[in-house]
Amino acid sequence: MGLRLIIVSALLILGTSKVNAQNYELGKVTIAELQEKSNAKDTAAPAAILFKKGRTFFTYTEGKGLVANNVYEFRIKIYKKEGLKWANQEVSYYVGYENLNDDTVKFSNAATYNLENGEIVKTKLNSEGSFKNKINKYWNQATITLPNVKVGSIIEFKYVLKSENLVRLPDFDFQYNIPVNYFEYKTEIPEFFIYKTLLVGNLKIETNAEVVLSSQVFASGYKQINSFYTSKDIPALNEERFVDNINNYRGSIQNELEKERYPDKPAINYTKTWEGVATSIYKSKDFGGELKQKDYFSADLKEILQKTDSKKEQLNLIFQFVQNRMNCTGKRGYFVDKGVVKAYEEKSGNVAEINFILISMLKTAGIDVGPVLVSTVENGIPVFPNRTVFNYVIGVAEIDGQKILLDASNKFTTPNILPLSLLNWKGRLIKEDGTSQEIDLIPKITSKENYTITASINPALGEIEGRLRIKKTDYDAFRFREINSNDNEDSYLEKLENDLGKIEIEDYKIENKTGDLSKPVQEEFNFKARNSFDLIGGKIFLRPILFFTDGTNPFKQEKRQMPVYFGYPGQETYNVFLDIPDGFVVESLPKPMRIVTENRDASYTMNMISEESKIHIQVTKEINKYIFATDDYDMLKEFFQNIIASQNEKIVLKRI
């Protein structure tokens, strides 16, 4: 059996390498490639990766143990000046392990190819263009800059990244902001390790796997799983507005260790199911162990609990206590750094420390509460169960059957309001018994912004004068507080005046910017607006919601590559009560408007009534979904286009 397998696989490998030999081997640059003026599939591309090859295999060294060797080979064609930056290459590698040797990176086979008088001229990289940089305690960086690179050049290089960290293999990205003509990635994993493989992005790629006999790593033969991934013509992926994280959509192959099973030892489960992830994280001393500690806050907790018997109020008080006492070092992660006791004493800690303190206090107070592992937006979406997808931990409490999400490491959050970077798919609640449960992080409640204007028009002065009331709830309130927390009133007003078409603000009042954060932020002030209407030929032309009119469509691109992310459902309402000046009457009003998209995911209404000398305008805009599929882009674009058209229709007043 075994023998046949080997033969088959050897043939297979021979077969594939033969096909590839002409095009995908370093050093074999062709004149045709050098003559190419632009990329066939993307003529605007400044450069293209003609191929990227990767191979991951394991070696064993006495005393060091197993090492994952990751070999990468690139050939890149430069078409335009903007593509010259590809001639500089940087690879960061980790040197901050506690129990493992540092990762290493070594570049080789780096060269530039140019066509000179019809001949291929190769310039090799030597040591003067190669650098090692110690960024900080945790990271080093290897850098090369290739010689003699011009428009039209082809560059090639290879590097080997060695790591003793076998838990997560380096991600193999195959999509960049330039096209990739061809890629292949091969992993050769001894049977003692089972990796979970994740394909990110929505590109179709070819994969196949086979089992072969091997004795590369250990003297005695063992089985090895060879997996092979390949595809062609991967389009460039570029930044777009309203995207949570481009890496959620970038083509990439990720591998995480699931199980270790040496012949004579019991198997070690790293991950497999969410349950497995939960147990393994919970068992860590820096997680579950820290959650068990509770003596350090007894005195403070006792004092809080004396104030009320209501569980809900207790929760609020404890939350506020921890939020006020603790200051976040900005470090993310789900493990503690210095430990909860020391953090509590020093009044500063990382996210895990602060939220563990919160969870422990709530639990001691008799509230049903547990830790929830979360991945921030910047960290990407956790789709498959594994340990490394999470980078943050919050709490969830349950009172009267209602779940309340809690993050006390931010100064502006409240129960059920999380920092915006946590509004990312789903979290995992870990229970003490090792079971876990999915927790939806996307807010169900609609955050609201309410604007009420009462104003009168003064045609002689060309002014609109009035009073404006603004009310912001939930996430809109959170955002307001977070953005403006450091501004003093003067500079905030300057900003507001300029944002609202240079109105002049007086008599400004604000409530609940600080203090009780569960209440809406309310602003109120008098204003004078100079540029809010046109007086043309004895007629007044003005836009129904004045300086709040949307001027431009946020969606300008013709084509969209990624889904549209809004973060949370929101509603904006404008109520404008206008006094018609003496001597004028309404000549025409814009048409009332109602736009509703499919499934009511977004809606817009404008209504207007005019009675005697008054006009009342009401505009409501709702976005009811936090993310829209790429296919919905055209619909959204049109939706905003219609809104703008509607808001820019004029109210016309004429002299009597």
Partner 1 sequence: MKSPFFALFFLLFSLISTAQKSDFSVLGIADSLKANADAVVRLDKMDIVITSQRSMNIKVQRVVTVFNGTGLSDIDAYQGYDKSTSVKSIEAIVYDAFGNEIKKVKRKDFKDQSAVSGSTLFSDNRVIFLEYTPVSYPFTVVYNSEIESSNTAFLPQWYFLGGYAVSIEKSVLNVTFPNNLGFKKKEFHFSGYTINKTLDTDTQVSYVATNILAQKSEDLSPSHRDLFPRIMMGLENFHLEGVDGTAKTWETFGKWYNEKILTGTTDLSEETKTKIKTLVGDEKDPIKKAKIIYDFVQKKSRYVNIAIGIGGWKPMLATDVDRLGYGDCKALSNYTKALLQAVDVPSYNTILYGDRYKSDIQSDFVSMQGNHMILAIPNGDNYTFLECTSQDDPFGYQGTFTDDRDVLVVKPDGGVIVRTKIYEDKGNSQLDKGVYAIDENGNFSGSISIISEGSQYSSKQRLESFQPTEKESYYKKYWDNINNLKLGKIAFSNDKENIRFTEDIQVSAISYASLSANKMIFAIDAFNQNTGNIKRIRNRKNPFQVQRGYLDTDEIEINLPTGFTIEFLPSNYELKGKFGEYKTEIIKKENNKLLYKRSMFVNKGKYSNKEYDEYRLFMEQIARNDNAKIILTKN
Report the nearest approach of partner 1 to the CB of residue 146 (Å).
Answer: 9
Among 128, 264, 309, 400, interactor with partner 1 by CB under 8 A: 128
* Residue written as token pair 């599929």: 629
525: Cβ–Cβ under 8 A, 6 or more apart, which residues? Answer: 467, 468, 505, 506, 507, 508, 509
Q: Side chain identity at 8, as an amino acid letter?
A: V
80 part of the interface to partner 1, by CB under 8 A: yes
434 binds partner 1 (CB under 8 A): no
Among 486, 506, 599, 612, binds partner 1 (CB under 8 A): 486
Separation of CA 73 from chain center: 29
92 in contact with partner 1 (CB under 8 A)? no
DSSP state of 559: S
Return the exposure string of 202-240: e unless at least 16 CB atoms fall within 10 Å of the residue's CB, then b: ebebeeeeeebebeebeeeeeebbbbbbbbeebebbeeb
For partner 1, the binding residues in 348-367 under the rule CB under 8 A are: 348
Structure tokens at 374: 């979360």
CA pair distance 469, 524, nearest whole angstrom: 4
CA distances to 267, 287, 334, 360 from 372, rounded to whole Å, are: 27, 12, 9, 13
Q: What would the two tokens of residue 409 be?
A: 């490491």
327 is a contact residue toward partner 1 (CB under 8 A)? yes
- Confirm or reject binding of residue 491 to partner 1 (CB under 8 A): yes
Stretch binding partner 1 (CB under 8 A), from 137-145, 293-301, 444-452, 593-601: 137-145
Q: Which stretch binds partner 1 (CB under 8 A): 144-152, 274-282, 398-406, 516-524?
A: 144-152
DSSP one-letter code for 138: S
* Residue closer to partner 1, measured from CB, 236 or 405: 236
User: Which residue of 28, 81, 124, 594 would you call a contact of partner 1, by CB under 8 A?
Assistant: 81
484 binds partner 1 (CB under 8 A): no
Residue 149 interacts with partner 1 (CB under 8 A): yes or no: yes
In the block, residue with structure tokens 């206008």: 578
103-113 burial by CB neighbour count: b if 16+ within 10 A, else e? Answer: bbbebeebbbb
The least CB distance from residue 494 to partner 1, in Å, is 6
- Cβ at position 227, least distance to partner 1 in Å: 35
β partners of residue 471: 450, 522
Contact 132, 90 (CB under 8 A): no
Residue 615 near partner 1 by CB under 8 A: no
Nearer residue to partner 1 within complex by CB, 561 or 624:
561
Q: Is 143 in the site for partner 1 (CB under 8 A)?
A: yes
For residue 357, give the amino acid letter: I
Nearest CA to 154 out of 260, 305, 49 is that of: 49
37 sits near partner 1 (criterion: CB under 8 A): no
Residue 584, Cβ neighbours under 10 Å: how many? 18
- Which run of H or E residues covers position 379? none
The binding track of 9-28 with respect to partner 1, each residue x by CB under 8 A or -, is --------------------
Please select the residue that binds partner 1; options are 9, 20, 269, 329, rule is CB under 8 A. 329
Nearest to 217 by CA among 209, 229, 227, 225: 225
| List 4, 18, 37, 134, residue binding partner 1 (CB under 8 A) | 134
CA distances (Å), origin 7, targets 1, 3, 16, 56, 222: 10, 6, 14, 22, 16
Residue 428 or 543 having the CB closest to partner 1 = 543
In the chain, the amino acid numbered 545 is I
| Selected binder of partner 1 within 273, 557, 583, 609 (CB under 8 A) | 557
Q: Figure out which of the listed residues 460, 537, 582, 656 binds partner 1, where binding follows CB under 8 A.
A: 537
Compare residues 329 and 437 and give the one whose CB is closer to partner 1. 329
Among 4, 295, 556, 599, binds partner 1 (CB under 8 A): 556
The Cα angle at residue 446 between residues 332 and 635, in degrees rounded to 5: 95
For 75, 466, 544, 590, 652, the CA distances from 615, given in Å and listed in that order, are 67, 14, 9, 12, 12
Q: Is 304 in the site for partner 1 (CB under 8 A)?
A: no
Answer yes or no whether residue 590 interacts with partner 1 by CB under 8 A. yes
Task: With contacts defined by CB under 8 A, name the span among 142-150, 259-267, 592-600, 604-612 that binds partner 1.
Answer: 142-150
Closest residue by Cα to residue 596 from 643, 535, 526: 643
Please state, in angstroms and rounded to a whole number, the distance separating the CA atoms of residues 270 and 196.
10
Under the binding rule (CB under 8 A), the answer on residue 648 touching partner 1 is yes
Q: Which of 9, 148, 165, 456 binds partner 1 (CB under 8 A)?
A: 148
Does 588 help bind partner 1 (rule: CB under 8 A)?
A: yes
Where does this chain touch partner 1 (CB under 8 A) — which range of 21-29, 277-285, 358-366, 551-559?
A: 551-559
The CB-side HSE value for 363 (13 A sphere, CA atoms) comes to 18
Q: Minimal distance in Å, beta carbon 609 to partner 1?
A: 17
Q: Tell whether residue 102 is a contact of partner 1 (CB under 8 A).
A: no
Candidates 248-256, 344-352, 563-571, 604-612; binding stretch for partner 1 (CB under 8 A): 344-352
Which residue from 171, 510, 644, 654 is in contact with partner 1, where contact means CB under 8 A? 644
Considering the rule CB under 8 A, would residue 465 count as an interface residue with partner 1? no
Residue 46 within binding range of partner 1, rule CB under 8 A: yes
Q: Looking at beta carbons only, is 87 or 374 nearer to partner 1?
A: 87
With CA atoms as reference, report the closest residue to 322 among 303, 300, 294: 300
Kindly list the residues in this chain that would bind partner 1 in the complex (CB under 8 A). 44, 46, 80-82, 84, 87-88, 128-129, 131, 133-137, 143, 145, 147-151, 238, 327-330, 346-348, 485-486, 488, 490-491, 493-494, 497-498, 502, 504, 531, 534, 536-537, 541, 551-553, 556-558, 587-588, 590, 641, 644-645, 648-650, 652
